[in-house]
Amino acid sequence: MTQTSDGIRHEPEPRAPGMVTLRIDGRLVRAREGRTLLAVAREAGIEIPTLCHHEALEPSGGCRLCVVDVSRREREAEPRLVAACLHPVEEGLDVRTASERVLCVRREILDLLLARCPESPPVQRLARAHGIFESSYREAPDPTLCILCGLCTRLCDALGPAAISLVGRGIGREVAPPFQAPPPDCIGCLSCALICPTGHILWSSSEAGNRIWGRTFPWLRCPTCGRAHLTEAAADFWAARTGVPRVELETCDACKRAATGATVARLAAAG
Amino acid sequence: MERILRVSVFRCIACGKCELACAFAHGREGRPAAARIRVLSQGPDRGIPLVCLQCHEAACVAVCPVGALSRDPERGVVVLSEARCIRCGVCVAACPFGAMLPEEDGRVAKCDLCGGAPRCVPFCPTGALEYLPAEAAQRGPAADGTRDAPRA
């Protein structure tokens, strides 16, 4: 039994197995063990800014914008700064997502990012939201749109080809295919370009096929209508990876609907 | 309880109201081309409504590399998590029925049964679309045009 400030005695809630209780910005939150602070905070409606997080991809802790203050009251006097996207929830943890120190660190990161990528819309947006309209650092001599969030490389890893990666160190760090050459493992699916939050990855699509990373990927055309809907390389890759026969990947979605309709009509006519 | 969106093809008059209801329900400003249910025309007053079959062993769920698609057996629906989707398009290529609908920006649209109250059903004037408990749906529609249950 614990005495509370309202003078009423409450039975302490029994701890459910696999569940932990922690405090985020003063609110008591219950969460399943093993989940990250970011996921739990977002579920509780507490927004933590991120640039490199994606629900489906491994967290990388790359952008550091999701830093939060954590402390275990009984063990630590000083709160520590951790990346919320990587740090698991713990029993009794006290998390602060917008303390003065957290905001100071976030502003510093955004200040640096804005010097590196002054034209990058998500960086501009977040910087503005934190009161930064111009970087206090000297603008990079060759500004880029790439914020090094690694979404494209992690996506390509998750998909399977792993055709691109983050290479180099320090100011030379960039996203690139191996040896800066047209990547042999790329399937031309354009997913990396579509997930890129800043439009840094350049691509084009024409009658000949998709062009990205210095390579052109010829179309596989629907055998029924001739529409280009998939690259040859993607069809080969997915057939091998998923076990779906390649011939079933070749027909476009519209022709498959027409075929489904024809089957239904035949069945309906047969009663 | 598992419920099924039952399509009785012989009742469809190809009026296209289901497409419009769907297009509005999913915030597409009523553009029927963006609807997740498509009526395949079979003449001026006959059509075949085509919509996701919510397969028990769905090809889209099996091939998704990031688990963005999953089947909820309780509700009998294959759900696409837009937050998890990485727009690779493999589900579009793998669905044997053409029920995964690719959009221009790489996103995929699919019928989600509107979270348990499919909007197309109350707009269908002939009862070609019904949303029924799985058991009732499997008994098959009455050929005389009577309906099994009040429409949702």
- Per-residue model confidence as pLDDT tens digits over A23-72: 999 999 999 999 999 999 999 999 999 999 999 999 999 899 999 999 98
Residues A50 and A124 in one domain: yes
Using an 8 Å CB-CB cutoff, list chain A residues near B65. 158-160, 241
Question: Can B1-51+111-134 and B54-110 be said to share one CATH topology?
Answer: yes
CA atoms of B44 and A181, how far apart (whole Å): 56
- Average pLDDT score over residue span A145-161: 93
Q: At residue B144, does pLDDT exceed 60? A: no
Residues A29 and A137 in one domain: yes
Residues A131 and A227 in one domain: no
Question: In terms of residue numbers, what domain contains A213?
Answer: 151-267
Our count of domains for chain A comes to: 2
Token pair of B3, please? 């419920």
Instruction: Kindly give, in sequence order, each residue whose CB lies less than 8 Å from that of residue B99, ignoring residues fewer than 6 positions away.
Output: A257, A260, B50, B51, B52, B53, B110, B111
3-state secondary structure of B94: helix
Assign A2 a pLDDT band (cuts: 50, 70, 90): very low
Query: Which has the closest alpha carbon to A150: A55, A38, A60?
Result: A60
In a domain, A6, yes or no: no
Contact call for residues B60 and B100 (beta carbons, < 8 A): yes
**Domain C-terminal end among A148, A168, A201:** A148
Using an 8 Å CB-CB cutoff, list chain A residues near B98. 252-260
In a domain, A252, yes or no: yes
Residues A128 and A157 in one domain: no
Return the CATH class of domain B54-110: alpha beta
Whether the CB of B56 is below 8 Å from some CB of chain A: the reply is: no
Q: How far is B43 from chain A (nearest CA, A)?
A: 12
Predicted pLDDT of residue B101: 93
Whether the CB of B14 is below 8 Å from some CB of chain A: the reply is: no
Contact call for residues B112 and B92 (beta carbons, < 8 A): no
Using an 8 Å CB-CB cutoff, list chain B residues near A244. 59, 63, 93-94
Q: At residue B100, does pLDDT exceed 50? A: yes
Tell how strand A19-24 and strand A93-96 pair up. Answer: parallel
Q: CATH number of the domain at A77, please.
A: 3.10.20.740
Residue type, A265: A
Summarize pLDDT for B18-34 with one digit per residue, the tens. 999 999 988 767 677 77
Residues A159 and A129 in one domain: no
Summarize pLDDT for A182-197 with one digit per residue, the tens. 999 999 999 999 999 8
Residues A135 and A159 in one domain: no
CA A25 remoteness from chain centre = 24
Predicted pLDDT of residue A31: 93
Residues A194 and A143 in one domain: no
Question: What percent of chain A is predicted at pLDDT more than 90?
Answer: 75
Q: At residue A235, does pLDDT exceed 90? A: yes
Reported pTM: 0.83
Q: At residue A82, does pLDDT exceed 70? A: yes
Instruction: Kindly give, in sequence order, each residue whose CB lies less than 8 Å from that of residue A31, ignoring residues fewer than 6 positions away.
Output: A19, A20, A21, A22, A40, A43, A89
CA atoms of B57 and B89, how far apart (whole Å): 19
Can you spell out the DSSP letters for chain A? -EE-TTS-EEPPPPPPTTEEEEEETTEEEEEETT-BHHHHHHHTT-----SS--TTS-----S-TTEEEEEETTT-SS-EEEETTTPBP-TTEEEESS-HHHHHHHHHHHHHHHHH-TT-HHHHHHHHHTT-SS-SSPPPSS--S-----HHHHHHHHHS----EEES-GGG-EEE-GGGS--TT-----HHHHH-TT--S-EEE-SSEEEETTEEEEEEEPTTT--EEEEHHHHHHHHHHH---HHHHHS-HHHHHHHHHHHHHHHHHH-
* CB contact burial A80-114 (16+ within 10 A = b; e otherwise): eebbbbebebeeebbbbbeeeebeebbeebbbebb
In a domain, A27, yes or no: yes
Assign A16 a pLDDT band (cuts: 50, 70, 90): confident
**Domain C-terminal end among A115, A148, A181:** A148
Summarize pLDDT for A115-140 with one digit per residue, the tens. 999 999 999 999 999 999 999 999 88
In a domain, A12, yes or no: no
Residue B115 per-residue DSSP state:
G
Summarize pLDDT for A155-178 with one digit per residue, the tens. 999 999 999 999 999 888 999 999
Using an 8 Å CB-CB cutoff, list chain B residues near A56. 66-68, 81, 83-86
3-state secondary structure of B15: coil
In a domain, A13, yes or no: no
Predicted pLDDT of residue A75: 64
φ/ψ region of A18 (left if φ > 0, alpha if ψ in -120 to 50, else beta) reads left
Domain spans in chain B, listed from the N-terminal domain onward: 1-51+111-134, 54-110
Assign A267 a pLDDT band (cuts: 50, 70, 90): confident
Whether the CB of B46 is below 8 Å from some CB of chain A: the reply is: no
- The CATH classification number of B1-51+111-134 equals 3.30.70.20
Residues A98 and A58 in one domain: yes
Q: Do A242 and B90 touch (CB under 8 A)?
A: yes
* Four-CA torsion A227, A232, A235, A240, nearest 10 degrees: 160
Largest Cα separation within chain A, whole Å, is: 78
In a domain, A4, yes or no: no
Token pair of B14, please? 């190809």
Tell me which residue in B63, B68, B100 faces A244 most closely, judged by beta carbons: B63
Query: Which of residues B118 and B150 earns the better pLDDT score?
Result: B118
Tell how strand A80-83 and strand A9-10 pair up. Answer: unpaired
Tell me which residue in B50, B87, B100 faces A195 most closely, judged by beta carbons: B87
Assign B57 a pLDDT band (cuts: 50, 70, 90): very high
CA atoms of B14 and B7, how far apart (whole Å): 13
**Domain C-terminal end among A124, A148, A172:** A148
Predicted pLDDT of residue A5: 55
Residues A121 and A110 in one domain: yes
Residues A62 and A133 in one domain: yes
Q: How far is B134 from chain A (nearest CA, A)?
A: 20
CA atoms of B69 and B72, how far apart (whole Å): 10
Residue type, A45: G
Predicted pLDDT of residue B152: 43
Instruction: Kindly give, in sequence order, each residue whose CB lies less than 8 Å from that of residue A133, ignoring residues fewer than 6 positions away.
Output: A127
Chain A residue with minimum CA distance to B46: A265
Whether the CB of B35 is below 8 Å from some CB of chain A: the reply is: no
- Average pLDDT score over residue span A226-248: 93
Query: How long a stretch of residues is chain A?
Result: 271
In a domain, A89, yes or no: yes
